[in-house]
């Protein structure tokens, strides 16, 4: 089935290689340049190539050094404007042809966020970063914007600030002088990159700013290198946080799944284990279209947790599922409250009229991971299951697949390697309930190892029992309660508290002050504290302004732009004080990524 979220004709002619030449203009906040497509003809006598675009200023189309006819169709409210380029007549199956598009991005580009210098750690230079998932690559380049099309790409990007891309740097060297020894912020330097492994268009990525590189110690027997990029003010802290675990996780995942194919794994201060795992699930084995997004995120989340068991203990794996369960519960409830129960499903039948971003939530991550865990247990446990995982990746790596293709391979593998008993076990699974089921609960409620959660649960129970104590001075709590807690145990403590009736305002205030949650620099913990505070009517009114101030960076200029944090806070404040939520958002929305702006506008009922 063709991808419903692209207007391109990738089934007739498809890009195999993309060559980008860009110039970054931080003053006008635009990218200008060209995109040259090396296209494979897949159908005799195809007479045009159709690219996806979104809010691009299209200047020229060139074939064999000559301008050719092109037409930009009217803008579709989800998919953007289809760019039709006329091809020479007589093209035959198997031929190649190059098409160059000259263009500029515009102020309406949904994929790019341009930060001013006040929004950076160093506050000296601006910063640019992109977000092309699920269908925003078309806003930075004319492409066949579907995960069913995988492309190699090269890029030459001229900029007055250091540039990073989702590819291997060719020049200047990462380890060399920053910005090739030129004056950062003043002198233009051309950065060259090459991505020799075919990737889906949503993995096109750029970041540019005052960043530095530091390589991690490498394993001598490995063919890949790892390192960290960050602003000078953060590079020491970022290196210390990631240098030891990143190569260790990468080596462990190679052992479980299959060899790492991309040669380099560099971080730009990231969610390491999850994004690293995408190298196999998503970047390697890719969903054919957004309806099957769970194949990316469910598998990635599941394997991320297998690594926790491999490198630590089974208790760590179970603990990760416990942490994820609250996010899943909240997402399912949100879709229930808004009447969008279709998005509670794993496999979502999206139409061309549906923006796939509206289906984005914790559901594909957490419901998907639990589904695979259920299959693992049904088939006999992790040791039995892992050889199948390796075969799955080796079968489909480099390809884009649907849920049905995955299921067919699953049955095929176990028919061959397990026989009738394993096939019977698979038949016992309620596939329809997992793929198409809606509601607030999983089709099968799974038990997890609670070992690491018990202390957090016990502390939450103590706070719940103390709700009747009116005098704060009589509450038997001290900062020492958290002395031996990890950050994840604190998160579970706060999430467990959310499962009880809301605490009185006095208790929430005391809890936040006693444990310093109200000003912690750990965004995961602070977000959970505000989630807890915004659950009760009285406490939500009391904390609404404070929570919003944290998100918009009031007084600091440091916006909390991650969708998992900013969107739920505005959603919760909207329930108790919509005018305040709208007012704060309207005053600060330009500091957020265009995708966040679009979705939070919708959440708050703001129309253009």
CATH assignment at residue 467: 1.25.40.320
470 with 339, same domain?
no
Q: Is residue 38 part of a domain?
A: yes
What would the two tokens of residue 490 be? 């604190």
Instruction: State both tokens at 166.
Output: 């989702």
Band of the pLDDT at 130, cuts 50, 70, 90?
Answer: very high
Residues 187 and 224 in one domain: no
Q: What integer pLDDT is reported at residue 270 of this predicted model? A: 77
Asked if residue 606 lies in contact with residue 582, where contact means CB atoms within 8 angstroms, the answer is yes
Distances (CA, A) of 452 to 245, 377, 488, 522: 20, 21, 9, 20
Per-residue pLDDT at 271: 65
365 part of the active site: yes
Helix ranges (H only) for 401-501 are 403-417, 420-427, 431-436, 454-465, 487-498
What is the distance between the terminal CA atoms of the chain, rounded to a whole angstrom? Answer: 34
- Decide if 1 is inside a domain: no
Is residue 134 reached through a cis peptide bond, with omega within 30 degrees of 0 on the bond before it? Answer: yes
- Domain membership of residue 393 as a residue range: 285-436
304 carries an active-site annotation: no
User: Which residue would you say has higher pLDDT here, 351 or 370?
Assistant: 370
Is residue 416 included in any domain, yes or no?
Answer: yes
- What is the tens place of the pLDDT at every residue in 487-518? 999 999 999 999 999 999 999 999 999 999 99
Our count of domains for the chain comes to 4
Alpha-carbon gap, residue 367 to 379, rounded angstroms = 18
Assigned domain for 443 exists: no
Phi first, then psi, for residue 101 (nearest 5°) are -115, 125
In-domain check, residue 3: no
Residue 8 is assigned to a structural domain of this protein: no
Single out the residue in 225, 251, 279 at which a domain terminates.
279
Q: pLDDT tens digits for 280-339?
A: 999 999 999 999 999 999 999 999 999 999 999 999 999 999 999 999 999 999 999 999
CATH number, residue 187? 2.60.40.1730
- Asked if residue 474 has pLDDT above 90, the reply is no
On whether 292 is known to bind a ligand per the annotation, the reply is no
By C-alpha distance, which of 190, 182, 403, 453 is closest to 298? Answer: 403
In 3D space, the residue among 345, 414, 324, 403 whose CA is nearest the CA of residue 378 turns out to be 414
Q: Are residues 113 and 162 in the same domain?
A: yes
Does the annotation list 590 as a binding residue?
no
11-38 residue pLDDT tens:
999 999 999 999 999 999 999 999 999 9
Does 278 carry a binding-site annotation?
yes
> In the prediction, which pLDDT does 398 show?
96
Q: Classify residue 447 by its DSSP letter.
A: P
Per-residue confidence at 486, pLDDT binned at 50, 70, 90?
A: very high
Residue 513 phi/psi, 5-degree rounding, is: -75, -45
Considering the candidates 302, 365, 448, 510, report the single residue annotated as catalytic. Answer: 365
Please tell me whether residues 220 and 345 are part of one structural domain.
Answer: no
pLDDT at residue 274, rounded to an integer: 83
Q: Which of 48, 233, 275, 524 is catalytic?
A: 275
| Lowest-confidence region among 47-51, 136-140, 402-406, 558-562 | 558-562
Q: Is 445 helix (H, G, I), strand (E, B) or coil?
A: coil
């Amino acid at each position: 089935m063709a991808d419903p979220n692209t207007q391109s004709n990738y089934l007739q002619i498809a890009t195999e290689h993309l060559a980008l030449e860009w110039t970054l203009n931080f003053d006008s906040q635009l990218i200008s340049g060209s995109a040259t497509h090396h296209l494979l003809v897949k159908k005799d006598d195809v007479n045009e190539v159709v690219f996806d675009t979104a809010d691009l200023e299209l200047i020229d189309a060139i074939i064999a050094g000559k301008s050719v006819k092109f037409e930009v169709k009217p803008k579709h409210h989800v998919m953007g404007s289809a760019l039709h380029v006329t091809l020479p007549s007589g093209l035959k199956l198997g031929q190649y042809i190059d098409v160059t598009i000259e263009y500029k991005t515009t102020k309406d580009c949904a994929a790019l966020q341009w930060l001013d210098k006040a929004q950076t750690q160093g506050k000296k230079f601006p910063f640019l970063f992109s977000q092309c998932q699920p269908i925003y690559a078309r806003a930075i380049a004319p492409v066949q914007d579907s995960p069913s099309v995988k492309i190699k790409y090269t890029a030459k990007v001229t900029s007055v600030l250091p540039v990073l891309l989702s590819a291997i740097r060719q020049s200047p060297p990462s380890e060399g002088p920053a910005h090739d020894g030129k004056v950062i912020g003043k002198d233009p330097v051309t950065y060259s990159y090459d991505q020799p492994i075919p990737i889906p268009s949503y993995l096109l990525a750029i970041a540019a700013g005052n960043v530095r590189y530091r390589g991690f110690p490498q394993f001598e027997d490995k063919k890949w290198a790892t390192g960290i990029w960050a602003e000078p003010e953060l590079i020491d802290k970022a290196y210390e946080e990631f240098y030891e675990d990143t190569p260790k996780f990468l080596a462990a995942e190679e052992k479980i799944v299959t060899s790492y194919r991309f040669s380099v794994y560099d971080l730009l201060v990231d969610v390491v284990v999850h994004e690293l795992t995408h190298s196999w699930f998503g970047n390697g084995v890719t969903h054919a279209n957004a309806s099957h997004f769970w194949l990316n995120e469910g598998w990635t989340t599941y394997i991320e947790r297998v690594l926790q068991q491999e490198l630590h203990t089974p208790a760590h794996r179970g603990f990760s599922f416990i942490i994820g369960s609250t996010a899943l519960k909240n997402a399912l409830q949100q879709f229930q409250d808004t009447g969008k129960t279709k998005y509670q499903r794993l496999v979502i039948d999206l139409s061309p009229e549906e923006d796939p971003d509206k289906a984005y939530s914790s559901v594909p991550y957490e419901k998907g991971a639990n589904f695979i865990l259920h299959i693992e247990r049904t088939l006999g446990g992790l040791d039995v299951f892992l050889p199948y995982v390796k075969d799955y990746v080796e079968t489909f790596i480099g390809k884009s697949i649907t849920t049905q293709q995955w299921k067919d391979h699953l049955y095929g593998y176990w028919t061959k390697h397990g026989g009738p008993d394993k096939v019977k076990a698979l038949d016992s699974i309620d596939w329809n309930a997992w793929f198409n089921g809606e509601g607030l609960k999983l089709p099968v409620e799974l038990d997890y190892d609670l070992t690491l959660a018990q202390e957090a649960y016990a502390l939450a129970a103590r706070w719940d029992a103390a709700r009747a104590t009116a005098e704060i001075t009589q509450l038997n709590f001290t900062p020492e309660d958290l002395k031996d807690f990890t950050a994840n145990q604190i998160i579970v403590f706060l999430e467990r508290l959310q499962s009880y009736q809301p605490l009185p305002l006095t208790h929430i205030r005391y809890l936040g002050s006693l444990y310093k949650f109200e000003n912690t620099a750990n965004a995961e913990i602070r977000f959970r504290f505000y989630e807890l505070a915004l659950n009760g009517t009285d406490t939500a009114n009391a904390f609404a302004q404070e929570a919003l101030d944290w998100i918009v960076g009031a007084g600091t200029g440091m916006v909390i732009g991650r969708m998992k944090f900013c969107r739920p806070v505005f959603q919760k404040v909207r329930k108790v004080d919509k005018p305040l939520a709208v007012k704060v958002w309207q005053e600060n929305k330009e500091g957020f990524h265009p995708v966040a702006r679009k979705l939070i506008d919708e959440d708050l009922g703001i129309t253009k």
